[in-house]
Amino acid sequence: MAGSMAPLGVKKERAAEYKGHMTFAVAMACIVAAIGGSIFGYDIGISGVNTMDPFLERFFPAVFRRKNLVTLNNYCKYDNQALSAFTSILYLSGQVSTLAAAPVTRNYGRRASIICGGISFLIGAALNAAAADLTTLILGRVMLGVGIGFGNQAVPLYLSEMAPAHLRGGLNMMFQLATTLGIFSANMINYGTQKIKPWGWRLSLGLVAAPALLMTVGGFLLPETPNSLIERGHVEEGRRVLELIRGTTDVDAEFTDMAEASELANTIKHPFRNILERRNRPQLVMAVCMPAFQILTGINSILFYAPVLFQSMGFGASWSLYSSMLTGAVLLFSTLISIATVDRLGRRKLLISGGILMIICQVIVAAILGVEFGSDKHLSRGCSTAVVFVICLFMLAFGWSWGPLGWTVPSEIFPLETRSAGQSITVAVNLFFTFVIAQAFLSLLCVFKYAIFIFFAGWIAVMTAFVYVFLPETKGVPIEEMVLLWSKYRFWKNIMPAMPTMPLEDGWGSGDGHGDSALAGADCNVHK
């Protein structure tokens, strides 16, 4: 059908012609790059030092005095804005720095941002470990936030572009797997260092330097993604890297898609302005809503303040850290479930099923606390066990759904010309909501009490409905052809304007088989 029209940029669906398999180069690149996720997770989990007495006594003496007052409402003992700022400043700093990371990632490559992130983590770890006053402690957290801004901007993007299309979902979840491993490691380390008095907290805060060093060195050793190389004019090198990571010289179809996407990308001088155009509306909505909803599950409240939360429920200091360690282990295990199933079951099924189970868990915890726990009494042993079990179920559901997919979906849906800008928006929104929840949670817990879980359950209901209505299935769809998916989806096809078009080569949809791709299967899935 010569003369047919298709979206400008990628002119033909070629996914069925893509060659290649999982190679050693891809495996090593993914492992080294995903170390950035472990640092992100470690910085989340290590916030548990805020229950250690030597740490509180040095930096937050008012909280240290209040935590043992039996006359004070159990829900309010840790309600302190300075203590909240110790946790939340990390994410405010990350939000600002990710906007600076976008032009670095686009103009100098994904590796450049990974290296910048690693160096920032090293500086932050040194300041925190040596902190003698609150100012130095906060400054160290700010530098860690800069590392998160650069790392979270570049690493998911790097993984999406390196992975073969048919394995992209699972490999991209290496970032989330590493994040959960970092959370679990931080909980384990806190459990051990609480017994080292009075300086155990310094060890907890300083050990982030180990993965940061690996991330920095790995950033120098990793190959750049072929997408980035081609976009920046290094076409031959881009093809060489593509052949290396696919394990074959037969990469013509994928290379052509990258070249066409790059040609369009290089005509876009202002990606942040371009991303606001109506034709990019579906991707922009996902870049804002997916990371916002991920935080509004309430997961970070549990991850940041698990020891505080469990102590508020009447657990001792050691038992609260043990319980948070257990929930971290469940989160790690459930991420493995997601990696194993995401490219078979798809994104939508995992997100919807996880959302339903999380709602049930939040409601059960609220009911137990509302009936059995009050301002002046603690939970019984049986109720405490039940709460920990249900929170573990919540972690299990989050770990196979919104945990990894809150990062995976936004990282794979943008065309090349707005990809770095889109990833920056995703990270900035994620970190903004993380900052807000981290800063407000202790006060919300004091005001809402057990109803805080109902608050989060309501948001999970909203986001589950959002996925059902607005998110098409993206499994198996090559990144460079993703734009074609939105124009076919039942909701967005009525929203998107007529896209700039150009004549196609012979063979587009002509029945010769060359137009068939994973998009055809995705189109069937989303219209069911």
pLDDT at 209: 92
Q: What percent of the chain has pLDDT over 90?
A: 23
Whether 186 has a pLDDT exceeding 70, the answer reads: yes
CA nearest to 472, candidates 462, 480, 483, 461 = 483
pLDDT at 271: 72
Distance CA(88)–CA(81), nearest Å, equals 10
Please state the pTM of the whole predicted model: 0.71
In 84-234, the DSSP E strands lie at none
Whether 31 has a pLDDT exceeding 50, the answer reads: yes
Query: What mean pLDDT comes out for the span 343-356?
Result: 92
CA nearest to 50, candidates 207, 199, 190, 208 = 190
pLDDT at 137: 93
pLDDT at 71: 58
* 292 confidence band (pLDDT: 50, 70, 90): very high
Distance CA(177)–CA(219), nearest Å, equals 19
Q: Which of 261-270, 315-324, 389-398 has the lowest mean pLDDT?
A: 315-324
| Helical spans, DSSP H, in 374-491 | 381-400, 402-412, 419-448, 452-470, 482-486
| Burial 479-517, CB ≥16 within 10 A → b, else e | bbbbbbbbbebeebeeebeebeeeebeeebeeeeebbbb
The amino acid present at 29, given as its one-letter code, is A
Distance CA(251)–CA(261), nearest Å, equals 15
The owner of tokens 């993206």 is 474
pLDDT at 305: 63
User: Which run of H or E residues covers position 7?
Assistant: strand 5-7
Angle formed at CA 44 by CA 41 and CA 50, multiple of 5 degrees: 145
Distance CA(379)–CA(217), nearest Å, equals 48
Q: What is the pLDDT of residues 84-124, one digit of tens each?
A: 888 889 888 988 898 888 889 888 998 999 999 999 999 99
Q: Which of 67-71, 84-88, 90-94, 263-267 has the lowest mean pLDDT?
A: 67-71
Give every CB contact of residue 34 below 8 A, 6+ residues apart in sequence: 155, 159, 174, 175, 177, 178
CATH class of 11-222+268-488: mainly alpha
